[in-house]
Amino acid sequence: MKANEFVKKFGWDGAKAKVVELGILQELGDLMIGQEVELKRLVESHELIEKDFESVDIAEYEHMISGCYSDPYWIRIKQAIADVESCQ
């Protein structure tokens, strides 16, 4: 199952719980691969949008008016917007 399909099926809370579970496994020596890495990125993107903007709409607006499209922060925000939208 693709990471964004996992989020659609289990929601953001389920995805966050899975990332925590995977983090514990990683600490025990198992490596995260493929879909697990993508799921972690999706959860981090969702948390970034929630923390800094509260919604994708606000993030898109702030990105648009910032005019700083080459700034690393805004590049990350643009990716986060795309990640969150892929799970809706």
What's the one-letter identity of residue 9?
K
Q: What is the pLDDT of residues 37-62, one digit of tens each?
A: 888 899 999 999 999 999 999 999 99
Domain regions of the chain by residue span:
3-86
Contact 46, 84 (CB under 8 A): yes
Q: What is the pLDDT of residues 12-36, one digit of tens each?
A: 888 888 888 877 555 545 545 677 8
pTM over 0.85: no
Residue with tokens 């702030």: 62
- 44 to each of 65, 67, 77, how far by Cα in Å? 23, 24, 11
